[in-house]
Amino acid sequence: MITLTNIEKVYRTSTIETLALNNINLHIGQGEFASIMGPSGCGKSTLLNIIGLLDAPSKGGISVGGQPVTSYSDQELARLRNQRLGFIFQSFHLINDLSVLDNVEIPLLYRKQISGTQRRQMAQEALERVGLSNRVKHFPKQLSGGQKQRVAIARAIVGRPEIILADEPTGNLDSVMGNEILSILQGLNTDGATIVMVTHDEAMAKKTHRLIRLFDGTMVGDTTLTLC
Amino acid sequence: MLTNYIKIAWKVLLRHPFYTFITLFGISLTLTVLMVLTSFIDHIIGSHYPETNRDRSLYIEKMALRDSSRTSQNTGPMSFKFLTQYAKSLKTPEKVTITSFFRTSNAYAGSQKIKLNTKYTDAAFWEVMNFTFLEGKPYNDQNIRNGELVAVITDDFRRQYFSDLSEPVVGKDIEVESVHYKVIGVVKGSPPTRFFSYADIYFPYTVPKSNYEQDDIMGGYVAVILAKKASDRKAIQDEFQDKIRRIPLPGNRNGFKYAMLEVGCAPYLESVLSIFMEGGPQVKVIFYSVIAFLMLMLMGLPAINLVNVNVSRIMERSSEIGIRKAFGAPIRTLLMQFIVENIFITFIGGSIALLLTLITIYFINNSGWIAYADLTINLNVFLVSIGVCLIFGLLSGVAPALRMSKLSIVEALKS
C-alpha cells in the first residue's frame, strides 16, 4: 500500500546538519496495523509525517498503491491526502472555534462532489462510530481529552480513507481513555483500514500487528506480532 | 464552505475584543473617509437636483481662439449671439438653453447688504433644469420678448430679502443694482457646486446688463443641450462640430488674429474638467486616475497596517492551517478562505463606515458649509463603497494569506 525506499531526512540550518532518518526501507501492506516505537528524538514522527505525505524526504522514494508520489505537486499531494489518508495527532489539533460537527466535516470540505447535506450526514455517522453523536453541537473546549481524541478519530475516518496515521494518539490520555482509543482503532482496522501508529507505550504497541523500532533515525527492528 | 469560513471569522473576531476593536476602528475610519469622498464626488458629478438630466445633456462652456503658431490664445465663454447661431439652431436635441455663468451682485434689504449671484437665462433653462417651484412659475418666451423686468429667486434669497415670510412673495418687488424686478417665482436653490444651475436670482436674458446683444463671438454665456436620449449625444456633437467647421477662418477678434477656433460640446464631467485642464476626452481618464490613485493611497496606508495585524492573527491559527492542509486543503482554497474571512471583516467595518458616513453627510448637509448640499448614499455611492470594501479587504488580506499558505504542514502543526 505504502512503500518507502531508501528514505533519508536531513534538517539543515546555517551551522548544523541533522540526519533525522537514515536509509529507511519500509512497506506497509493493506489492512496492517503497524506501530512505530523508539526513544524521543529518534525520528518516529518524522517517519510518520513522510508516510503521511505531510513532509518530503531529503532523499528516497515513496509510492502509494504502487504509484510513485515523490514528484507530485502540492495540489496532487493534497488531493491524495484528502482521498486516501486520515490523521490523528497527540494534541488532537481540533479547531476550537468550530463545533464538533464542523470539525469532523473538515476533510469533506475539500471534496467538491460532496454536498452540504451529505457532509453533515457523513460527519454524524463518523461521530456515531466513535460514540459521540450526542456532542455534535459542543465545542472542543467543552470536551474531555478522551472525547477530543474521539472527535479527532471521527475527523480522520469521515472521508473513509484507506490509511489512518496516528501520532501518539494516546499520549495525552490516561490509561483507561488510552485503551478506549486503541480499541476504536482496532475496530477500524478490523473493518479494513490500514493503521500506522507512533507510540511510546510498549503495551499499546504490542496490541498491533507489527512493531517497527527506530533508533537515531535508523530502523533497528521490524517484528510481526502475534496477538494474544 | 463559505458558512464555515464566516463562522470562523466571526469567532476569531470575538476571541480578542480589543484587537477586533482596533481592526474595525481602522477599517471603518478609512472606509468612512472613502465613502464620504465618494458621496462628495457623486454630489459634484452625478445627476442631482436641479441638474437631473445630466446623463443626457451636453455642455458648451468654453471657446478657444488660437493663432496659427499656437503661441497666443483667447479662452472663455461665448456670446449669446454665437450660441444662438450655432447651438440653439441644432436640430437633433430636445432642448437647448443658453445661460450666463453666475455673476456677483448686491441687493439691499433695508440697510442690510446681501451679496448674491445672478444668472441670465432663456425660457428653455427651466425645461432643461428641473427646478422645484415653491411659489409662482418660471418666466416664458413672452416675458422675455416683452423685455419684462421679472426674476425667479431662490428660497434662500427670499429668506434674506423679505422679512415677512408668512406671505407669498410672488408679485413683490426686489431691487438689484438699482433696477427693480418683479418676483415671478421662487425655487428651491441649487448648490454652488452645480455651476450651470446655481444662482440666487435668475433673470430673463433681455433685462439690463445681460450683454446679450454683444456683437462678438466670445462673451459670458454657456449652453446646455438636452438630448432626447443619452445615445443621441454623439449625433448632437457631430452636428455641432459640423456647424463649427463651417465658421470661416482665419478670423479677427478685437485685433487678435486667430487661425483656429475650438469649441467643445461635451458631457458634464469632461466639460467641467476642461475648464481647469486641457486634453479633450482624455481629461476624464486623468480625473478618474487621480481619484483612483488618491483612493488607493488613502486605503493603502491603513491596509499595510492591517496586513501586520492580520499576519499576527493568522499565525495564531497555524494549527488550524496545518490541519486543513493535512486533510487536503489546496493552497488556493486556503488563500480563498483567509481572503473571504478578511473581506467579511472588512464588510463589518464597511457597515459601521456606512453608518458613520450617513452621520457625517447629515452634518455636512446641515452645516451650511455648502449651500443646498445634498450629499447622499445613493445606489452609485453604495456600489462604489462595496467596491472600495472589496479592494480594501483584498489589499489587507492577500499578503497575510499568502504568507500563511506557504507555511509547511509540519511547522504549522508544531506551533
* B328 closest CB neighbour out of A98, A102, A107: A107
pLDDT at B280: 62
Stretch B188-207: mean pLDDT: 94
**Residue A163 or B254, more confident:** A163
Nearest to A85 by CA among B321, B1, B326: B326
Closest residue of chain B to A82, computed from CA coordinates: B328
Place of cell 478519530: A153
**Residue B247 or A225, more confident:** B247
Which cell is B55 given? 446623463
- Torsion over CA: A206, A210, A213, A214 (sign): negative
For the stretch B145-170, pLDDT in tens is 999 999 999 999 999 999 877 889 99
CA distance B20 to B328: 30
* A75 closest CB neighbour out of B15, B330, B408: B330
**Interfacial residues of B (vs A; Cβ cutoff 8 Å):** 1, 4, 7-8, 11-12, 15, 319-320, 322-333, 408-410, 413
> A216 touching B, CB under 8 A?
no
Largest CA distance in chain B: 92
SS3 B154: strand
> B317: how many CB neighbours lie within 10 A of its CB?
21
Q: Is A114's pLDDT higher than 60?
A: yes
* A109 closest CB neighbour out of B4, B11, B322: B4
What's the whole-number average pLDDT of chain A? 92
Closest residue of chain B to A108, computed from CA coordinates: B327
**Residue B415 or A111, more confident:** A111
pLDDT at A31: 93
CA distance B325 to B309: 23
> B14: how many CB neighbours lie within 10 A of its CB?
9
> A209 touching B, CB under 8 A?
no
B257 DSSP 8-state letter = E
Closest residue of chain B to A158, computed from CA coordinates: B327
CA distance B87 to B77: 13
pLDDT at A5: 95
* B333 closest CB neighbour out of A93, A110, A155: A110
> A155 touching B, CB under 8 A?
yes
Which cell is A173 given? 490520555
Residue ranges with strand state E in B169-238: 173-176, 179-187, 201-204, 221-226
- Whether residue A54 and residue B410 make contact (CB cut-off 8 A), yes or no, is yes
For the stretch B7-59, pLDDT in tens is 777 877 787 788 888 888 888 888 898 889 889 989 988 999 999 999 999 99
Place of cell 446681501: B114
Stretch B72-93: mean pLDDT: 94
SS3 B397: helix
Strand (E) or helix (H) holding B57: strand B57-60
- Domains (range + CATH), chain A: 2-224 (3.40.50.300)
CA distance B53 to B232: 13
- Give the whole-number percent of chain B exceeding pLDDT 90: 47
A–B CB contacts, 8 A cutoff, strictly below: 68
| Residues of chain A with C-beta less than 8 angstroms from the C-beta of B325 | 78
* A97 closest CB neighbour out of B11, B331, B408: B11
Cα B78-B79-B85 angle, rounded to 5 deg: 100
> A11 touching B, CB under 8 A?
no
pTM, two decimals, is 0.71
- Whether residue A98 and residue B319 make contact (CB cut-off 8 A), yes or no, is no
**Per residue, what are the HEC states of chain A?**
CEEEEEEEEEEECCCCEEEEEEEEEEEECCCCEEEEECCCCCCHHHHHHHHCCCCCCCEEEEEECCEECCCCCHHHHHHHHHHHEEEEECCCCCCCCCCHHHHHHHHHHCCCCCCHHHHHHHHHHHHHHCCCHHHCCCCHHHCCHHHHHHHHHHHHHCCCCCEEEEECCCCCCCHHHHHHHHHHHHHHHHCCCEEEEECCCHHHHCCCCEEEEEECCEEEEEEECCCC
For the stretch A159-217, pLDDT in tens is 999 999 999 998 888 888 888 889 999 999 999 999 999 998 898 999 999 999 999 99
pLDDT at B58: 96
A50 by Cβ neighbours in 10 Å (0-12 / 13-18 / 19+) ranks as: buried
- Torsion over CA: B263, B266, B270, B276 (sign): positive
- Give the whole-number percent of chain B exceeding pLDDT 70: 98
Closest residue of chain A to B326, computed from CA coordinates: A54
For the stretch B233-245, pLDDT in tens is 999 999 999 999 9
- Whether residue A93 and residue B330 make contact (CB cut-off 8 A), yes or no, is no
SS3 B317: coil
- Torsion over CA: A153, A157, A158, A163 (sign): positive
Q: Say which amino acid occupies B323.
A: I
CA distance B64 to B214: 18
* B327 closest CB neighbour out of A49, A97, A107: A107
Distance from CA of A187 to the nearest CA of B (A): 22
Stretch A74-84: mean pLDDT: 93
> A57 touching B, CB under 8 A?
no
- Whether residue B329 and residue A52 make contact (CB cut-off 8 A), yes or no, is no
CA distance B126 to B135: 14
Nearest to A85 by CA among A193, A207, A215: A193
For the stretch B271-296, pLDDT in tens is 888 777 666 667 777 777 888 888 77
| Residues of chain A with C-beta less than 8 angstroms from the C-beta of B320 | 95
- Whether residue B7 and residue A107 make contact (CB cut-off 8 A), yes or no, is no
Sequence-separated (6 or more) residues with CB below 8 Å from residue B203: B118, B119, B120, B121, B150, B151, B181, B210
Burial pattern B51-89, b for ≥16 Cβ within 10 A else e, equals bebbebbbbbbbbbbbeeeeeeebeebbbbbbbbebbbe
> A75 touching B, CB under 8 A?
yes
For the stretch B126-140, pLDDT in tens is 999 999 999 999 999
Distance from CA of A141 to the nearest CA of B (A): 14
Distance from CA of A226 to the nearest CA of B (A): 32
Q: Which of A46, A73, A81, A198 to mutate to test the interface with B (most CBs of B within 10 A)?
A: A81
pLDDT at A68: 94
ipTM over cut 0.85: yes
What's the whole-number average pLDDT of chain B? 88
Stretch B343-365: mean pLDDT: 90
Strand (E) or helix (H) holding B112: strand B112-121
| Residues of chain A with C-beta less than 8 angstroms from the C-beta of B5 | none
Which cell is B390 given? 472589496
CA distance B249 to B247: 6
pLDDT at A227: 58
CB distance B1 to B334 below 8 Å: no
Distance from CA of A76 to the nearest CA of B (A): 9
> A161 touching B, CB under 8 A?
no
Q: Is A228's pLDDT higher than 70?
A: no
